[in-house]
Copies of this chain bind each other. A is one copy, B any other.
């Protein structure tokens, strides 16, 4: 899940927009106050871009453990690995902060057209979906393009499978069908919901993600199907044909299990209690290896701290890396972190989340006060060699949101190119093959410089 959707809507819009409207002047190309930081920033950039350590670590993580769904053995093993690797890196106070998380198990699943002649459908059950009856369920499909069309066809829905076939425009515009389609269909008596993958047409590529049934309805099985399968069914019905589909899903929710946020720090030289928080989520969906969502966000933020440690840089404030658990299907890691550290929420001076991939062209988004924004824009000038000097509106992230909200901390997001990101988002194709080593190095460099200056400058970043 990209941070732009969840948290920005809740937290960031108001202040970000305010900041944009008030401070529209370009930053000075070489602000004088940054002089003391230039040499270290240059060393960080040099170190980050001088080798492919971070990409290799990303490969080791995603190759060895594969997907890391919350509650899975894969994630548990990856957590152990990360704790050990952070300690080897020389990070401090490395620990796994325990969190209970849901355990949803996909099980075997399939969908096929039964009328006209049998044909398999490329599908992925939605995370959190209930199972079908054993042996599956079969019904005629009603195709709708939007919630309004569903309501206008309310009389046709009972006993049917509803296919939500909204063409992909942007994630935020179309994800509502994935999260809320099953609920809306169930309210009208549908027996299952199929959702056109929330992403551009790929190579018969469905996109999983969570379904939210909400209260007071009877949950029905919900699955994503590829754009091609959705288009095919829509064409068949638009020609007047009837299409029947058999959906078979063994999905189940087991009792909650223990998981953990992985935390490591570079303790601050003068103000260790003040925290510059960097992180991503360590869990992923269970279909690809979660390389872009969000192993790479974890690796690049972690890499920022590793580089400081390796170069002997210890900023004034603490730089804390958190690899959050269970972002995808529960946000329990974010919630637990905010609860555990509630007493110190106000000490979080800045929080950065990387959860939109590192595909270029990338950018940095920021949400905070006008005063903070001016400082961050100045720091952005240090990123000119990386092509990331412009700071856009819209910081935040699902994992950093709760603690940043509690502490009123300015927030930043590392934002990969959304076209490339959503092509593989929540799909089996979210693997390291998509990600260039240079994209990883550049992201780590940018985050390292931003975090270093904010952690080092004499005054804390204004709220």
Does chain B have a CB within 8 A of A227? yes
Tell me whether A236 and B203 are in contact (CB under 8 A).
Answer: no
B117 in contact with A429 (CB, 8 Å): no
Chain A contacts with B in 212-249, Cβ cutoff 8 A: 227-228, 231-232, 235-236, 239, 241
Give the distance in Å from the alpha carbon of A247 to the alpha carbon of B236 in the complex: 35
Binary contact readout A47-86 vs B (1 if CB under 8 angstroms, 0 otherwise): 0000000000001101111110000011001000000000
Residues 126-155 of A, flagged 1 when their CB comes within 8 A of B and 0 if not, give 000000000000000000000000000000
Do A433 and B231 form a contact, CB below 8 Å, given A203-B205, A236-B63, A236-B64? yes
Whether B203 and A117, one on each chain, are in contact in the complex, defined by CB atoms closer than 8 angstroms, is no
Q: Would you list which residues of chain A between 260 and 315 have a CB under 8 Å from chain B?
A: 287-289
A202 at the interface (CB under 8 A from B): yes
B119 touches A74 (CB 8 A): yes
Q: Which residues of B contact A73 (CB under 8 A)?
A: 117-118
Assess whether A431 is interfacial by the CB under 8 Å rule: yes
* Interface membership of A427, Cβ < 8 A: yes
A116 at the interface (CB under 8 A from B): yes
How far does the alpha carbon of A74 sit from the alpha carbon of B429 in the complex, in Å? 30
Interface centre among A67, A235, A423 (most CB of B within 10 A): A235
Cα-based distance from A219 to B201 in the complex (angstroms): 38
A427 with B203: CB separation less than 8 A = yes
Per-residue CB contact flags for chain A residues 82-122 toward chain B (1 = under 8 Å, else 0) read 00000000000000000000000000000001001111101
A369 to B424, CA, bound (A): 50
Q: Which B residues touch A30, using CB under 8 A?
A: none
B118 & A204 in contact (Cβ 8 Å cutoff): no
Q: Does A428 contact B (CB under 8 A)?
A: yes
Contacts of A227 in B (CB 8 A): 433
| Contact residues in B for A433 (Cβ distance below 8 Å) | 201, 227-228, 231
Given A118-B73, A118-B74, A433-B227, does the pair A424, B67 have CB atoms closer than 8 Å?
Answer: no
Contact yes or no, B117 A288, CB < 8 A: no
CB-based nearest B residue for A233: B63
Please determine whether A232 and B289 come into contact, CB atoms closer than 8 angstroms: yes
Residue of B nearest to A431 (CB): B228
Q: Are B288 and A66 in contact (CB under 8 A)?
A: no
A113 contacts B64, C-beta separation under 8 Å:
no
Which one, B74, B202, B231, contacts A203 given CB within 8 A?
B202
Q: Give the complex CA separation of A232 and B65 in angstroms.
A: 11
Within 8 Å CB of A77, what residues of B? Answer: 116-117
**Contacting residues, chain B, for A231 (C-beta < 8 A):** 433
Bound Cα distance A122, B239 (Å): 34
- A203→B113 contact, CB < 8 A: no
Q: Is A429 within 8 A of B66, CB to CB?
A: no
| Distance between Cα atoms of A288 and B235 in the complex (Å) | 16
Task: A113 to B451: give the CA distance in the assembly, Å.
Answer: 38
Q: Cβ of A117: which chain B residues have Cβ within 8 Å of it? A: 64-66, 73-74, 77
Q: Cα distance A427–B203 when bound, in Å?
A: 9
Q: Known contacts A228-B429, A232-B431: does B66 contact A119 (CB below 8 Å)? A: yes
Q: How many angstroms between the C-alpha atoms of A63 and B241 in the bound complex?
A: 11
The reply to whether B119 and A429 form a contact with Cβ atoms under 8 Å apart is no
A sample of 29 inter-chain contacts (CB < 8 A) reads A63-B232, A63-B235, A63-B239, A64-B116, A64-B241, A65-B116, A65-B117, A66-B113, A66-B118, A66-B119, A73-B117, A74-B118, A119-B289, A120-B428, A201-B433, A202-B203, A202-B429, A203-B423, A203-B424, A203-B427, A203-B428, A204-B288, A204-B428, A204-B429, A227-B433, A228-B429, A228-B431, A228-B433, A232-B431
Nearest first, the 8 closest Cβ-Cβ pairs linking A and B are A66-B119, A203-B429, A204-B428, A203-B203, A204-B429, A228-B431, A74-B117, A228-B433
Known contacts A60-B239, A62-B232, A203-B429; can you find 9 more A-B pairs with CB under 8 A?
Answer: A63-B236, A64-B117, A66-B117, A74-B118, A120-B287, A122-B428, A201-B433, A203-B423, A204-B288
- Interface positions of A (Cβ within 8 A of B): 59-60, 62-67, 73-74, 77, 113, 116-120, 122, 201-205, 227-228, 231-232, 235-236, 239, 241, 287-289, 423-424, 427-429, 431, 433
